[in-house]
């Protein structure tokens, strides 16, 4: 655990420094006003647990590599040294230990943050709407620490003092929540090749078909489809049907060589969408095969599909295991089957990856929507995208 002290003129400024300095996993331990007259000065103590197994992926590259632990071994290719794999047999033990430790840390941090609020008198001032925001977040499945942190942000927000009634405070909460969600970079034309990966049955093939319709039919961009799911005949057939209806060419790639041939054949395509087979929970070979396939093929934008109805530890394990492949964006599926969306916040915050699309039903091509932090914040807080 690394603990650091910050002085800043506002909590937002301090939070920014903490995020830059300690990374997105940092937690606030305490806040104190050092000077209340202008210019204001506040002190924030923040900490980050450096004892976690090494993070991977672009969003957390700033973090230093913690020492190797028993049960972990480095990948043998040095350029991928940030990806670590855990030896098969060790997975359940390490994971349950880590989850327990994380839960305890969360409870402790949540309590400390709350005690801190109480010290500042938030419970004495009759701020029921604030309590309601906190409860709503928790009821929606947001972790206590993140919920408490959002309340802390509301308390410090200049709009809070002038807010009249619950709705205005909910609006501030929604706005602040949107401000902390990762936002997707502008579509810069990068990402010509987009691969869709994720657990079995999460909706990859259906989503690829929806995306194909979006690019090929709506945006009139020349689109090609590749499926690497050759394990099941039905899987190829499923995509073939969509491809035929939309008039989009489909190539089947069984191995890295096949993938290269398919890409060569699609030299004239502006967008190439790649469907992949579902990954059973603990199949490390699966990710190795995908990585081989995508390696040296230029930029493949990897979209990890997740269904927020999945149990929290399942989501956590999934996002963690996919670090071995690396992914750029998240795509949440089957929102129509979910009641609450705190898990969306937890996953976005924990991975630091943005989400640009969500799917909302089985209908191809209708049930897909582009989203940004504002819609997602509304979803997390109010259970609706609009």
Ligand X SMILES: Nc1nc2c(ncn2[C@@H]2O[C@H](COP(=O)(O)OP(=O)(O)OP(=O)(O)O)[C@@H](O)[C@H]2O)c(=O)[nH]1
Instruction: List contacts with ligand X (CB under 6 A).
Output: 200-206, 229, 235, 277-278, 333-334, 336-337, 359-362, 367
Positive or negative CA dihedral for 274, 214, 335, 144? positive
Least Cβ distance, residue 226 to ligand X (angstroms): 14
Among 113, 136, 205, 351, binds Mg ion (CB under 5 A): 205
Segment contacting Mg ion by CB under 5 A, of 17-25, 40-48, 178-186, 202-210? 202-210
Positive or negative CA dihedral for 283, 285, 288, 294? negative
Q: Which is nearer to ligand X, 321 or 333 (CB)?
A: 333
User: What length is written for the chain?
Assistant: 386
Least Cβ distance, residue 305 to Mg ion (angstroms): 10
CA gap 107, 130 in Å, rounded: 20
Coil vs helix vs strand at 147: helix
Quick one: what does residue 203 bind among ligand X, Mg ion, none, with the CB cut-off 5 to 8 Å set by partner type?
Answer: ligand X
Q: Which of 84, 78, 79, 80 has the alpha carbon at shortest distance from 66?
A: 84
Positive or negative CA dihedral for 341, 169, 349, 364? positive
Quick one: what does residue 96 bind among ligand X, Mg ion, none, with the CB cut-off 5 to 8 Å set by partner type?
Answer: none
Q: Which is nearer to ligand X, 119 or 280 (CB)?
A: 280
Quick one: what does residue 280 bind among ligand X, Mg ion, none, with the CB cut-off 5 to 8 Å set by partner type?
Answer: none
Least Cβ distance, residue 308 to ligand X (angstroms): 11
CA gap 289, 48 in Å, rounded: 34
CA gap 21, 6 in Å, rounded: 10
Least Cβ distance, residue 232 to ligand X (angstroms): 8
Least Cβ distance, residue 326 to ligand X (angstroms): 19
For every residue of 186-249, DSSP letters joined together read: P--S--SEEEEE-BTTSSHHHHHHHHHIIIIIIS---EEEEE---S-HHHHHHHHHHHHHHT--
Least Cβ distance, residue 281 to ligand X (angstroms): 12
Size, binding site for Mg ion by CB under 5 A? 2
| Residue 206 within binding range of Mg ion, rule CB under 5 A | no
Binding region for Mg ion (CB under 5 A): 204-205
């Amino acid at each position: 655990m690394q603990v650091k002290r910050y002085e800043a003129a506002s909590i937002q400024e301090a939070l920014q420094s903490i995020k830059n300095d300690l990374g997105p996993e940092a937690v606030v331990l305490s806040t104190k006003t050092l000077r209340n007259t202008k210019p204001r000065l506040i002190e924030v103590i923040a900490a980050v647990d450096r004892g976690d197994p090494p993070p991977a992926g672009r969003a957390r590259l700033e973090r230093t590599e913690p020492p190797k632990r028993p049960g972990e071994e480095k990948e043998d290719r040095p350029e991928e040294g940030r990806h670590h794999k855990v030896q098969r047999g060790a997975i359940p033990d390490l994971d349950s230990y880590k989850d327990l430790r994380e839960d305890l840390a969360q409870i402790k941090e949540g309590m400390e943050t709350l005690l801190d609020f109480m010290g500042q008198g938030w419970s004495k001032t009759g701020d029921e709407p604030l309590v309601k925001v906190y409860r709503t977040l928790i009821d929606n499945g947001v972790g206590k620490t993140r919920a408490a942190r959002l309340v802390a942000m509301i308390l410090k927000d200049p709009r809070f003092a002038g807010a009249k009634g619950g709705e205005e405070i909910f609006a501030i909460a929604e706005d602040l929540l949107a401000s902390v969600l990762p936002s997707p970079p502008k579509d810069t034309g990068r990402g010509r090749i987009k691969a869709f990966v994720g657990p079995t049955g999460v909706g990859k093939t259906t989503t690829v078909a929806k995306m194909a319709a979006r690019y090929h039919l709506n945006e009139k961009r020349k689109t090609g489809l590749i499926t690497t799911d050759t394990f099941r005949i039905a899987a190829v057939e499923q995509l073939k049907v969509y491809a035929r209806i939309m008039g989009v060419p489909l190539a089947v790639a069984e191995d890295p060589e096949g993938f290269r041939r398919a890409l060569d054949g699609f030299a004239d395509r502006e967008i190439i969408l790649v469907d992949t087979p579902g990954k059973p929970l603990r199949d490390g070979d699966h990710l190795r095969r995908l990585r081989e396939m995508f390696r040296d093929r230029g930029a493949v934008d990897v979209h990890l599909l997740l269904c927020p109805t999945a149990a929290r530890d399942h989501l956590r394990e999934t996002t963690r295991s996919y670090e071995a492949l690396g992914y750029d964006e998240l795509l949440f599926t089957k929102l129509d089957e979910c009641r609450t969306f705190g898990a969306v916040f937890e996953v976005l915050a924990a991975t630091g990856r943005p989400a640009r699309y969500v799917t909302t039903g089985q209908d191809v091509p209708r049930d897909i929507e582009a989203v940004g932090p504002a819609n997602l914040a509304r979803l997390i807080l109010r259970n609706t995208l609009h």
